[in-house]
Amino acid sequence: MDQELIRLANEIAKSIADKMKNEDKNKLRKNIGIGADGTPTKLIDKIAEDIAVEKIQETSLPVNLLSEEAGFLDFGGIYTIILDPIDGTRNAVRGIPFYAVSVAIGKDRLKDVEYGIVINIPTGDTFFAEKGRGSYLNNHRIITPQYVPKKPLYSIMMSENIPEYIFENHIRSLGAASLELSLVAMGAIDCFVCMKDYLRVTDLAAGALIVREAGGYVYNAEGEKLDMDMDVTERTSVIAATSEKLIFDILGSNQIKL
């Protein structure tokens, strides 16, 4: 992986995190339009995305941008920066201290992602991974635990097809997929579950790599290892876990044949 591209991704992520940490979130909750992904764009997302566009335009590196608000911006590069400028926007504008900036570097599909960084904006905790080189939290290597607790801790996105047995365990619903994936990578939660087709590649590109490089697993609700096009209009389900057993238990309970 080109180290200049990694430095650019880090600079984008850190610049957005620094800017958003000092902004008055009450002023940034206003909807200002509809993004390329078809959802409302809040001012907070637009300000963060503009930072990324400016950083890319300032560099001599040929790299494209894919973001929820602007869609795909072609700057003639082989590689693309995949950006979720604010993951957990609702948390951010309501003052819930669990939201992030997510930046990844890839080509045509999720499986092509070679680098990802997720910064928890309120705390500054920084997760990152490079393909084939492991995952890190604040420069310390993280590895997913090799055991499954008797009562796992699940983070879920609510939908009608969540297996009932999950509710007999420990449950959270945190509202920022990139951070929830990162927590799976370090073993803070055992499994992140989104059974409906809801999440976009911008939500997942960095976090999925961080989980996999830490030794965890990322599937969809059809029992396939997660992969998707670099297209912000495409949605997917996600089950990410420290152990394949947790994933297979969920898939089996939904009568999905592997």
Which residue intervals of the chain bear CATH 3.40.190.80? 153-253
Q: What is the DSSP letter of 109?
A: B
Q: Tens digits of per-residue pLDDT, 16-74?
A: 999 888 766 566 566 655 656 666 666 878 888 899 999 999 998 999 999 987 889 99
* Burial (0-12, 13-18, 19+ Cβ within 10 Å), 57: exposed
Helix H segments across the chain? Answer: 3-21, 43-58, 89-94, 177-186, 201-213, 244-253
DSSP 26: G
Report which residue type is found at 121.
Answer: I
For position 256, what pLDDT does the model report?
Answer: 39
Domain with CATH 3.30.540.10 in the chain: 3-141
Q: In what order do the strands lie in the sheet with 236-241?
A: 170-172, 153-157, 191-199, 236-241, 217-219
Q: List the one residue out of 201, 175, 27 whose CA is nearest residue 110.
A: 201
Predicted pLDDT at 147? 84
Tokens matching residue 133: 């080189």
Largest CA distance in the chain: 53
pLDDT at residue 257 above 50? Answer: no
pLDDT of residue 21: 81
Q: Exposed/middle/buried for 257, CB within 10 Å: 0-12, 13-18, 19+?
A: exposed
From 102, 76, 56, 78, select the one nearest 2 (Cα to Cα).
78
CATH fold, domain 153-253, is D-Maltodextrin-Binding Protein; domain 2 (3.40.190)
Token pair recorded at residue 227? 């992969």
CATH topology of domain 3-141: Fructose-1,6-Bisphosphatase; Chain A, domain 1 (3.30.540)
